[in-house]
Amino acid sequence: MKKKYLSLFLILLCTFVFSVVLTVLYVNSTTQVKHNNKKTIVASFYPIYIAALNITDGVDVELKNLSEPKTGCLHDYQLTTADMKLISKSDIFIVNGGGIEGFLSNVVKEYPKVEIIDSTKGLNLIKEGDDKNAHAWMSVKKYRQQVKEIANQLCKLDPDNASKYKKNLKIYDKKLEKLQNREAKIQQQIATNSRNIIIFHEAFAYVADDLDLDVKYVLDLDEERQVSAGEVADVLGSIKKDNVSYILAEKLYAKDMGDTVEKESNVKVIYIDPLNRGEYDKDSYIKGMNKNLDKLQKVYTSSN
Amino acid sequence: MNYLSWLDYGFMKNAIIAILIITPLFGIIGTMIVNKKMAFFSDALGHSALTGIAVGVVCGIKDTTISMLIFAIVFALLLNKISKKSTASKDTIISVFSSCSVAIGLAILSKGGNFSEYSSLLVGDVLSITRKEIVYLVMIFVATIIFWIFAFNQLNAVAIHKTLAKSKNMKVEILENLFAVFVALIVTVSIKWVGILIINALLILPAASSRNLAENVREYHLFAVIISVFSGVLGLWVSYYTNVATGPMIVIIASVIYFATYFVGGRE
């Protein structure tokens, strides 16, 4: 009988040693040495991170992004334990705001010491029923304001580096201004009779707003979701009734739906990028938006 | 890297408290589930949690744990009753119930295409453990221990030979229903952080490993509780530093222990 106890003890001991050794090896292989007494800034997701990347360029701070959700936008994103650790160690947490970070209230409660910058504070967000549409970064005009808000708040929270933030803001804002001018030009080229549009992603409501397009129907294909036959019929009905000739969609989630609709009607689907993931490069927002505008320009100018 | 820093965080403290309370229960209840060959039954109960949440959402109950609890208890009692009366075998009945309730749950929760909101239920989310959950756990812990002290001998007798137990004037039906209710309670309060897909493994694995080694009922319980608590704590620790979901990590460790005991126990 004693032998049983011994063997159980040995089994548990072996499992314990094995797990601990593997974990320690894993942790050692993945963690880097942390620099001290720098401000740590965490951005909630991609477009915010890119904005912060530009503002903090050349400034001695540590900028991190939360682990990438695999589903694009942050709705319903669950923080992982690594995210919680990251936020708890940070000084400033920059969020998009407008309710897209559903976990934000928990963060505020759990870590009252972390300063939070709400980049859409004071912005007029598009309303979707009772909810706000928080994808403000898809409007160049609004994104510029977000960038400004981030820079201003950073200056307040980290006054030592304020002059650098201001300089960076000027540089980035100039680039964005150029982008906005381009957008305005395209907007003027769009014929009035082709302004009716359907969007397959809430975020594109902001693109439509900038280009003065009239959104007739929104089918939110943001996350992997199942479309009911009734919704497809609604889209096709709206295409006929409102004389819609273009649909804005994200290729990743809406390709099947786009193909179906193109087959069933004369409408053309334009696949643009909601810029909620991509390369971690300073100019990737501008590049992405320019690509989107290329596509829109091609379609709208060729139809004239 | 400090390997003790994991207890600095509030959510990890909650998690370790929850694990220390719930894993002994998994061990204890698991022994009887394995004895009574009810593994499939507890699995079905786990699946019913989905429907419980769906019912809560439809009825506008804010605290979905309550609707899950109520639904799981009703589900367990109904399942017990029908499987006794029906001519079909028990596993068929359980399968019918399980798939039916999963279908209802999925249908309601996926309405409007928002199922991703609930997908954390499938693999569990350790951050969902709050003070309130711990209060539930403590209550259930006390209730289960009391139930076990008073009813274990009779339950064991029923598990070994039902007809004999009946002839000794034991209230077999009430005992079985009570046991089913306790399984339902334990499964439901822990499902949010363990996850529907693997909750059953936590009930079965420690008891099954213990059965490979133990020679009497006392050892059977003791080993099951030790293995269960051990895998729970170690799993939480490993998951924290390797950044994987906690429930699966606990189950992986428990499975490793099961296979080890299988080889050690099988040789003798």
CATH classification at residue B135: 1.10.3470.10
Distance CA A267, CA A253 (A): 18
Amino acid at position B199, single letter? I
Q: Is residue A277 part of a domain?
A: no
Q: Is residue A292 part of a domain?
A: no
Supply the pLDDT for residue A34.
Answer: 53
Instruction: For residues A174 and A201, state if they share a domain.
Output: no
Tokens 């399942």, residue located: B79
Q: Is residue A23 part of a domain?
A: no
Closest CA to A211 of A304, A303, A300, A122: A300
Q: Which two tokens stand for residue B201?
A: 């493994």
Query: Which residues fall within 8 angstroms of residue A155, CB to CB, at 6 or more apart?
Result: A162, A165, A166
Contacts of B213 in chain A (CB under 8 A): 4, 7-8
Instruction: For residues A64 and A155, state if they share a domain.
Output: yes
pLDDT by residue, tens only, chain A of 304 residues: 577 888 888 889 999 999 989 888 888 877 655 555 678 899 988 889 999 999 998 888 888 888 666 556 666 677 777 788 888 888 899 998 888 887 887 788 778 888 899 998 888 888 777 778 889 999 999 999 999 999 999 999 888 889 999 999 999 999 999 999 999 998 888 888 888 999 988 889 999 999 889 998 888 876 656 677 778 888 888 888 888 889 999 888 888 888 888 888 888 899 999 888 888 888 999 999 999 999 998 888 775 4
Q: Is residue B3 part of a domain?
A: no
Number of domains in chain A: 2
Count helices and strands in chain B by DSSP H and E runs:
11, 0
Q: Is residue B5 part of a domain?
A: no
Our CA-based measurement puts residue A146 at a distance from the nearest CA of chain B, in whole angstroms, of 27
Q: Which two tokens stand for residue A37?
A: 């007494």
Instruction: For residues A169 and A242, state if they share a domain.
Output: no
Residue B227 has pLDDT above 80, yes or no: yes
Q: Is residue A287 part of a domain?
A: no
State which of A126, A148, A178 marks the end of a domain: A178
Cβ of B243 and A28 within 8 Å?
no
Q: Is residue A221 part of a domain?
A: yes
Which of B13-17, B117-121, B196-200, B209-213 is the least confident region? B117-121
Task: Write the Ramachandran bin of A247: left for phi over 0, alpha for psi from -120 to 50, otherwise beta.
Answer: beta
The residues on B that touch A, with CB distances below 8 Å, are: 1, 3, 9-12, 110, 113-117, 120, 125-127, 213-215, 219, 223, 226-227, 230, 234, 237-243, 253, 256-257, 260-261, 264-265
Starting at the edge strand found earlier in the chain, the sheet holding A196-199 runs A214-218, A196-199, A246-249, A268-271
Confidence of residue B57 (pLDDT cuts 50, 70, 90): confident
Per-residue pLDDT of B243-256, as tens digits, reads 788 888 999 999 99
Instruction: For residues A166 and A199, state if they share a domain.
Output: no
Tokens 């305005």, residue located: A184
- Range(s) of the domain holding residue A200: 194-272
3-state secondary structure of A303: coil
* Whole-number percent of chain B with pLDDT over 70: 96
Cross-chain CB nearest to B116 (options A16, A26, A71):
A71
Confidence of residue B130 (pLDDT cuts 50, 70, 90): confident
Contacts of B256 in chain A (CB under 8 A): 15, 18
Instruction: For residues A153 and A256, state if they share a domain.
Output: no
Cross-chain CB nearest to A23 (options B110, B241, B260):
B241
Number of domains in chain B: 1
Q: Is residue A189 part of a domain?
A: no
Cross-chain CB nearest to A81 (options B110, B240, B261):
B240
- Range(s) of the domain holding residue B171: 10-263
For residue A164, the domain's CATH number is 3.40.50.1980
Instruction: For residues A156 and A216, state if they share a domain.
Output: no
Tokens 């989905």, residue located: B50
Interface of A with B in 108-127 (CB under 8 A): 110
List the single residue in A with minimal CA-CA distance to B235: A19
Instruction: For residues A158 and A46, state if they share a domain.
Output: yes
State which of A130, A153, A178 marks the end of a domain: A178
Instruction: For residues A65 and A170, state if they share a domain.
Output: yes
Interface of A with B in 204-223 (CB under 8 A): 220, 223
Q: Is residue B1 part of a domain?
A: no
Instruction: For residues A92 and A123, state if they share a domain.
Output: yes
Supply the pLDDT for residue A36.
Answer: 57
Q: Is residue B122 part of a domain?
A: yes
Our CA-based measurement puts residue B240 at a distance from the nearest CA of chain A, in whole angstroms, of 7
State which of A146, A178, A210 marks the end of a domain: A178
Q: Is residue B79 part of a domain?
A: yes
Supply the pLDDT for residue A293.
Answer: 92
CB atoms within 10 A of CB B17: 16
| Helices within B60-89 (DSSP H only) | 64-85
Distance CA A277, CA A144 (A): 19
Amino acid at position B225, single letter? V
DSSP B107-133: HHHTGGG-GGGGTHHHH--GGG--HHH
Q: Is residue B61 part of a domain?
A: yes
| Choice between B79 and B117, residue whose per-residue pLDDT is larger | B79
Closest CA to B223 of B199, B249, B205: B205
Cβ of B127 and A78 within 8 Å?
yes
Instruction: For residues A164 and A241, state if they share a domain.
Output: no
3-state secondary structure of A115: strand
Cβ of B257 and A11 within 8 Å?
yes
